[in-house]
Amino acid sequence: MSDARIIIDGLVALLTPIGAPIRNKQLDSLTNRGIALMLAGVGDDDLIAISTYTLQVRTRGLADPSDDVDTLADQVKAILHGQVAVQLAGVTIGSIRRMSWTTLGQDGTRRWERSDNYLLEGVTFPASELLPG
């Protein structure tokens, strides 16, 4: 399993109490209300085996009420923003904080969409993954 997939799977578990469908990378066109997570690497320090990632959280809300997408994004923020020393299947995330957010407008079926971006700093993996071979 890739490092990114380990992190995404762990974040899905953290966000599950929200009750909306959560997917890796994108929501399918039939999902009216949900969350998609996409991870991007920002930098590695190979000497001390610490990585930094950004996490794009795309939320889709109902057409009415129009602030449904904001409510969903706020629920994600309440769980993720400000977390420290998060343990996900042996991976440790030193801190998570929201960096930016914007409404993306409505899709072709008038559902509201939004993007929130988080910084995941001090990400370390189990020592067994760091050994060669």
pLDDT score of 1: 65
pLDDT score of 116: 98
pLDDT score of 33: 95
Looking at domain 3-128, which of 3.90.1300.10, 3.30.2000.10, 3.90.1150.10, 3.30.300.170 is its CATH number? 3.30.2000.10
Distance between CA atoms of residues 91 and 87, nearest Å? 6
Going residue by residue through the chain, which has 133 residues, state the pLDDT in tens, using 9 for 90 and above.
678 888 999 999 999 999 999 999 999 999 999 999 999 988 766 666 788 999 999 999 998 888 999 999 999 999 999 999 999 888 999 999 999 999 999 999 999 999 999 999 999 887 644 444 4
Give the H/E segment covering residue 78.
helix 68-80
